[in-house]
Amino acid sequence: MHILVADDDIPSVKLTSFVLEEAGYRVYKVYDAQNILQAVEQHNPDLILLDVMMPRSDGFEICRQIRRNSDVPIIFLSGRSLLQDRVMGLQIGGDDYLVKPYEPSELLARVEAVLRRRNSDMLNPSSRLSQGEITLDPVEHKVIFTNNRTTELTPLEFRLLYYLMKNSGRILNITQILNKVWGYDYEGESNLVAVYIRRLRTKIEEDPEHPRHVITVRNLGYKFEP
């Protein structure tokens, strides 16, 4: 999981990054409010830790700008503990609000809780998802193409394609796919994913033997290309 830490306090960023990296997360760091939006677009993080009191533009305003284009989870970090600040942070689209100084264990617990909530909702979407010429309809479990052709998917096929499309361009390994789509790790069941990938390709690819969308990355996993 990729986490973007945006804070102008360099020692605080170093400590937070160390805690997160020790827990197995990949961390990107931004120290200037002006570069946060660019970093979000470039790295497509799974979560943002956003300091409220940054120079030039505060974290609340940055959150408002992020929410115009993205629903990435955001945890505010702040030295301000006033109730109105906490309420404001949640009202404008934050997922949690953590007051500095905080214990590393509390930070990890908050991060894990937000990501769990995010992942539990992620494969049960309520709105359509579009990537390139393909749109997924979560109500009827249909794939809709730009030429108005449609094809129906089984619930598992839909979850698999949704997960791939939601992470468009990112390589997903077998373990990640099994955990997110099937809900737990199927010991030694890597062929299960391959079977469903083939089934997906017969439904959405013009030439399933030479796929353009659901791509195999040798020895690494699969990715979706719009």
- Give residue 184's pLDDT: 54
CATH number for 67 = 3.40.50.2300
Does residue 16 sit in the same domain as residue 98?
yes
State the average pLDDT over residues 160-166: 93
Q: What's the average model confidence in pLDDT over 86-106?
A: 89
Residue 158 confidence (pLDDT) above 60? yes
Encode pLDDT of 66-87 as tens digits: 988 887 899 999 988 888 888 8
Does position 165 have pLDDT exceeding 70, yes or no?
yes
Q: Could you please report the per-residue DSSP string of 18-68?
A: HHHHHTT-EEEEE--GGGHHHHHHHH--SEEEEESS-SSS-HHHHHHHHHT
Q: Same domain for 7 and 117?
A: yes
Apex 201 CA angle, 199 and 204, nearest 5: 115
Q: Are residues 217 and 177 in the same domain?
A: yes
The SS3 call for residue 106 is helix
Are 26 and 95 part of one and the same domain? yes
Look at the block and give the residue holding tokens 């096929």.
Answer: 157
Q: State both tokens at 164.
A: 């791939």
CATH of the domain at 213: 1.10.10.10
Examine the domain organization and report whether 44 and 110 are in the same domain. Answer: yes
Rounded distance between C-alpha atoms, residue 65 and residue 71, angstroms: 11
- The angle that helices 190-204 and 155-166 make with each other, rounded to 10 degrees, is 90
C-alpha of 176 from chain center: 13
Residue 55, pLDDT score: 78
57 φ, ψ (degrees, to nearest 5):
-150, 125
- Tell me the whole-structure pTM to 2 decimals: 0.58
Given pLDDT bands bounded at 50, 70 and 90, which one contains residue 140?
A: confident
